[in-house]
Amino acid sequence: MHEIGAAFQMVFDPYNLWVMFAASLFGLFVGAVPGLTATMATALLVPVTFFMAPIPAIAAIVSATAMAIFAGDVPGCLLRMPGTPASAAYTDEAYAMTRKGQTELALGAGLVFSAIGGLFGTAVLIVAAPALADFALRFSSFEYFWLVLLGLSCAIVITSERPLKGMVSLILGLLVACVGLGNPAGFPRFTFGSTELMGGIGLIPMMIGMFAVSEIIRYAVDTSPQMLIVDQPIGNVFKGMWTLTKRYPLQIFRGNVVGTLVGALPGAGADIAAWMSYAISKKFSKEPEKFGTGHVEGIVESGSANNSALAGAWIPALVFGIPGDSITAIVIGVLYMKNMNPGPTLFTQNPQNIYAVYLLFIVANILMIPLGWLCIKAAKQILRVPRNVLMPLILLFCIVGTFAINNTVFDVGVMLIAGVAAYVLEENGFPSAPAILGVVLGGMLEENFISSMIKSDGNLLGFFSRPIAASLGALTLSAWFLPPVIRRLRRLAGA
Amino acid sequence: MKINDAVFGVLLLALGIAVLWHVQSFPRIPGQNVGPALFPGSIAVGLIVCALLLIVSGIRSHARARWFEGLPWMRSSRHVSAFAALILATLAYILFSTSVGFLIVAPLGLVAMLIAFGVRRGTAIVVAIVGTIVIWYAFYKLLRVPLPWGVLERFAF
């Protein structure tokens, strides 16, 4: 019991509350400005959290991302431009509502059901994570090997239109993870005599490059015309929310469940959760013909899905060290820096830290209601911030932030290369999520692969010798081979 | 730039072969069939397979997609200079910040980028100076990151 008390003390410490408040404002701003994403907010926070204690560091990321995902809805309503990719699924719908004069309803639904989604995802995290951790305590290298491989396979299957391109991304990520001394044999690989490469390619510079610098590049070369802000007064956004709750209880619940599940799947985060929920909502709606014309039902469902996905993504991240989305991929890097290595032992050795994480999520999602309301009030001012002034400043912040981690300009070079590479690859249909998972999980995959090989004396059948490992292995193989088989069968059935 | 899958395939194939060749020089651990070469070696094999598949699909689609195709922004000088300013400012920081100093390189890079992004000259200079000071203060003074003084070393405080 005293662990819960300790968690309360850490979370309601004045410094921590101040950090949450500041990070929330930062998250709302980043989310509301089109072209700045929630993942970018996380990447930009890392250099600052580097200098904080573990709980405030996590608090900053949790509050900023929750707020950013909600705030992404705001420019969708007013500019027809999603503030973050997680709002892209229903941007047209929200804008159509604005043109019908229902801005308040669209923004209110985004805000209230975002908070509900976040709280639902947190509840699942609180229930599922310790149970999974308990189960995972019995895992050996065989189970972990399959688990990581299963996670990586999911990331490829879910996130890319063409699995081949996702696979290439993943392999490039895994190769990057091979650089340096950090392998079971402790042999310097691919360092070419460089002392800087001995320690491997820094995770944080790479993430800042992939998620912040690449967005700045995308802005610099964006040729789409300037959007005009819809100029109409915004009234009471909370009006009619209770009616919506009573009218769409099933949709809210379904959005929450789908969001949490998609979030928990490695590689897929809030944006994919929103797309899937919107599609499901339309498919099962009693009035699907209204979708796209400014109908609130889809916003209710997918608006809650993207926020519940945020919390869901933390489940595999905390229990197994396998990120559920690109935000938690960065979080895992932060956890390692703070000596809070993710894994089942995190739940047994320092439970007060885990309780504190739960509390942070609850506080952040409750805080979202008043701060989100303020953000909506200030929306027009935020959207007028000139992005051509903002982007160069963000780049300087990225450079200094990257430098701050190890005090070397070598890392700034890593950041630039990662940014350009991510931009070129994304332009050509290679998704970046599998690459980042490959970088984060490469070491873990190799370590468990090598120790399993040694234990089984090089016999691959040994990987199936334990019941849980065998099931995970079967699941992984079916993730590889089922989709093409199903596609072929469908084609045969259609022909 | 839109690049045909086959071109990517060829590049990745070369990378895969280079990695596979390079890992042959890694030491073997006596009495064991696993070593530091096993994991990167297996990945390289995977990369080679993917690269070959990409080459096949790229050649098949060549009728529709040329080997290289410029994007709309490459024909607009404003966007090209914005892109170039971004890359060059970062490169300049990497090359010169240590010797010349943060307080000189950062505002110059910012001014160049701001102007390339279409900000008016006067505004750009003010934003660059204020932005540099704010970021310098936050990181150097508050977070104690040793941002280089360079030629201003004598005035360091």
Residues A248-288: pLDDT tens digits? 989 999 999 999 999 998 878 888 899 889 989 988 888 88
A179, A181, A201, A221: best to mutate for the B interface, most B CBs within 10 A = A221
List the one residue out of B137, B138, B134, B85 whose CA is nearest residue B108.
B85
CA distances from A448 to A321, A340, A383, A445 (A): 13, 20, 48, 5
For CA atoms A406, A410, A416, A418, give the dihedral sign: negative
Residue of A nearest to B45 (CA): A171
User: Which DSSP category does B29 fall into?
Assistant: P
Residue of A nearest to B107 (CA): A396
State how far residue B95 is from chain A, nearest Cα, in angstroms: 8
Q: Please report the residues numbered 198 through 257 in chain A whose beta carbons come closer than 8 angstroms to any beta carbon of chain B.
A: 213, 216-217, 220-223
Looking at beta carbons, which residues of chain B come within 8 Å of A189? 23, 26, 36, 40
Per-residue model confidence (pLDDT) at position B52: 95
Question: From CA A42, how far away is CA A58, in angstroms rounded?
Answer: 10
CA distances from A351 to A310, A346, A356, A470 (A): 21, 7, 9, 31
Kindly indicate the confidence band of residue A495, based on its pLDDT and cuts at 50, 70 and 90.
low
Looking at beta carbons, which residues of chain B come within 8 Å of A191? none
Instruction: Please report which helix (H) or strand (E) contains residue A15, including its range.
Output: helix A14-32
What would the DSSP string read from start to end of A133-153? HHHHTT--HHHHHHHHHHHHH
Give me the residues paired with residue A189 across strands: A180
Q: What mean pLDDT is predicted for residues A180-191?
A: 85
Residue of A nearest to B99 (CA): A409
pLDDT above 70: residue A214? yes
Q: What mean pLDDT is predicted for residues A356-372?
A: 95
Q: Does B19 touch chain A (CB under 8 A)?
A: yes
What's the full length of chain A, in residues? 495
Kindly indicate the confidence band of residue A179, based on its pLDDT and cuts at 50, 70 and 90.
very high
User: Could A174 and B43 be called an inter-chain contact, meaning their C-beta atoms sit closer than 8 Å?
Assistant: yes
Per-residue model confidence (pLDDT) at position B51: 95
Q: Does A187 touch chain B (CB under 8 A)?
A: yes
Q: Where are the alpha helices (DSSP H) in A321-428?
A: 326-337, 345-349, 351-377, 379-384, 387-406, 409-427
Per-residue model confidence (pLDDT) at position B99: 92
Give me the residues paired with residue B3 across strands: B68
User: Which DSSP category does A180 fall into?
Assistant: B
Instruction: Please report which helix (H) or strand (E) contains residue B62, including its range.
Output: none
Question: From CA A449, how far away is CA A143, in angstroms rounded?
Answer: 10
State how far residue B7 is from chain A, nearest Cα, in angstroms: 11
Per-residue model confidence (pLDDT) at position A159: 67
The phi and psi torsions of A80 (rounded to 5 degrees) equal 60, 40
Rounded to a whole number of angstroms, the CA Rg of chain B reads 24
Give the 3-state secondary structure of residue B3.
strand
Residues ≥6 apart with Cβ < 8 Å to A219: A35, A387, A391
Question: From CA A230, how far away is CA A25, in angstroms rounded?
Answer: 23
Cβ atoms within 10 Å, residue A402? 31
What would the DSSP string read from start to end of A70-94? HHTHHHHHHHSS-SSGGGGGGHHHH
Token pair belonging to B58: 């790229």
User: Could A416 and B113 be called an inter-chain contact, meaning their C-beta atoms sit closer than 8 Å?
Assistant: no
Question: From CA A237, how far away is CA A70, in angstroms rounded?
Answer: 14
Kindly indicate the confidence band of residue A28, based on its pLDDT and cuts at 50, 70 and 90.
very high
pLDDT above 70: residue A160? no
What would the DSSP string read from start to end of A229-286? PP------TTTTHHHHHHH-HHHHHHHHHHHHHHHHSTT--HHHHHHHHHHHHHHH-S
Asked if residue A412 lies in contact with residue A202, where contact means CB atoms within 8 angstroms, the answer is no
Find the range with the poorest average confidence among A8-12, A419-423, B28-32: B28-32
User: Could B38 and A397 be called an inter-chain contact, meaning their C-beta atoms sit closer than 8 Å?
Assistant: no
Kindly indicate the confidence band of residue B14, based on its pLDDT and cuts at 50, 70 and 90.
very high
Q: Mean pLDDT score of chain B, rounded to an integer?
A: 89
Kindly indicate the confidence band of residue B135, based on its pLDDT and cuts at 50, 70 and 90.
very high
Per-residue model confidence (pLDDT) at position A337: 87
pLDDT above 90: residue A292? no
Token pair belonging to A181: 């001394």
Give me the residues paired with residue B69 across strands: B2
Could you say which of B43, B46, B114 has the minimum Cβ distance to residue A389?
B114
pLDDT above 60: residue A293? yes
Q: What mean pLDDT is predicted for residues A218-243?
A: 80
User: Could B43 and A458 be called an inter-chain contact, meaning their C-beta atoms sit closer than 8 Å?
Assistant: no
Give me the residues paired with residue B68 across strands: B3
Token pair belonging to A267: 């590689």
Per-residue model confidence (pLDDT) at position B32: 72
State how far residue B35 is from chain A, nearest Cα, in angstroms: 7
B43, B75, B119: best to mutate for the A interface, most A CBs within 10 A = B43
User: Could B118 and A388 be called an inter-chain contact, meaning their C-beta atoms sit closer than 8 Å?
Assistant: yes
pLDDT above 90: residue B44? yes
Per-residue model confidence (pLDDT) at position B85: 95
Could you say which of A51, A189, A386 has the minimum Cβ distance to residue B143?
A51
- Ramachandran area for residue A227 (φ above 0: left; ψ -120 to 50: alpha; else beta): beta
User: Which DSSP category does B2 fall into?
Assistant: E
Per-residue model confidence (pLDDT) at position A144: 92
Helices B102-116 & B77-100 angle (0-180, nearest 10): 180
Q: Does A14 touch chain B (CB under 8 A)?
A: no
State how far residue A11 is from chain B, nearest Cα, in angstroms: 22
pLDDT in tens, A425-469: 988 889 888 898 899 899 999 999 999 988 888 888 888 988 889
Residues ≥6 apart with Cβ < 8 Å to A330: A39, A42, A43, A46, A61, A204, A207, A211
Angle at Cα B129 formed by Cα A380 and Cα A204, nearest 5°? 75
Q: Please report the residues numbered 125 through 144 in chain B whose beta carbons come closer than 8 angstroms to any beta carbon of chain A.
A: 127, 131-132, 135, 139, 143
State how far residue A193 is from chain B, nearest Cα, in angstroms: 14
pLDDT above 90: residue A146? yes
Per-residue model confidence (pLDDT) at position A227: 67
Looking at beta carbons, which residues of chain A come within 8 Å of B94? 409, 412-413, 416
Token pair belonging to A471: 């099931």
Per-residue model confidence (pLDDT) at position A494: 66
Kindly indicate the confidence band of residue A395, based on its pLDDT and cuts at 50, 70 and 90.
very high
More confident residue, A235 or B128: B128
For CA atoms A31, A36, A37, A43, give the dihedral sign: negative
Question: From CA A53, how far away is CA A404, in angstroms rounded?
Answer: 16
Kindly indicate the confidence band of residue A488, based on its pLDDT and cuts at 50, 70 and 90.
confident
Find the range with the poorest average confidence among A49-63, A157-171, A431-445, B41-55: A157-171
Question: From CA B134, how far away is CA A84, in angstroms rounded?
Answer: 27
Residues ≥6 apart with Cβ < 8 Å to A414: A201, A202, A205, A206, A209, A402
Instruction: Please report which helix (H) or strand (E) contains residue B126, including its range.
Output: helix B121-136
Q: Does B56 touch chain A (CB under 8 A)?
A: no
User: Could B86 and A404 be called an inter-chain contact, meaning their C-beta atoms sit closer than 8 Å?
Assistant: no
CA distances from A80 to A72, A77, A271 (A): 11, 6, 16
Give the number of beta-carbon pairs within 8 Å between A and B.
154
Asked if residue A62 lies in contact with residue A366, where contact means CB atoms within 8 angstroms, the answer is no
Looking at beta carbons, which residues of chain A come within 8 Å of B119? 386, 388-389
State how far residue B157 is from chain A, nearest Cα, in angstroms: 18
Token pair belonging to A119: 């709280």
Q: Does B96 touch chain A (CB under 8 A)?
A: no
Token pair belonging to A90: 């229903």
Kindly indicate the confidence band of residue B73, based on its pLDDT and cuts at 50, 70 and 90.
confident
SS (H, E, C) A307-338: HHHHHHCHHHHHHHCCCCCHHHHHHHHHHHHC
Q: What share of chain A is helix, strand, coil (3-state, %, to 5)?
A: 75, 0, 25
Could you say which of A178, A388, A427 has the minimum Cβ distance to residue B2?
A427
Angle at Cα B14 formed by Cα B8 and Cα B20, nearest 5°? 130
Looking at beta carbons, which residues of chain A come within 8 Å of B2? 427-428
For CA atoms A87, A93, A99, A101, give the dihedral sign: negative
User: Could A453 and B117 be called an inter-chain contact, meaning their C-beta atoms sit closer than 8 Å?
Assistant: no
Q: What mean pLDDT is predicted for residues A297-304?
A: 92
pLDDT above 70: residue A103? yes
User: Could B145 and A403 be called an inter-chain contact, meaning their C-beta atoms sit closer than 8 Å?
Assistant: yes
Token pair belonging to A322: 């396998």
Residues ≥6 apart with Cβ < 8 Å to A348: A133, A137
Q: What mean pLDDT is predicted for residues A86-113?
A: 89
Exposure on the CB side of residue A420, measured as CA atoms within 13 A? 13
Kindly indicate the confidence band of residue A29, based on its pLDDT and cuts at 50, 70 and 90.
very high
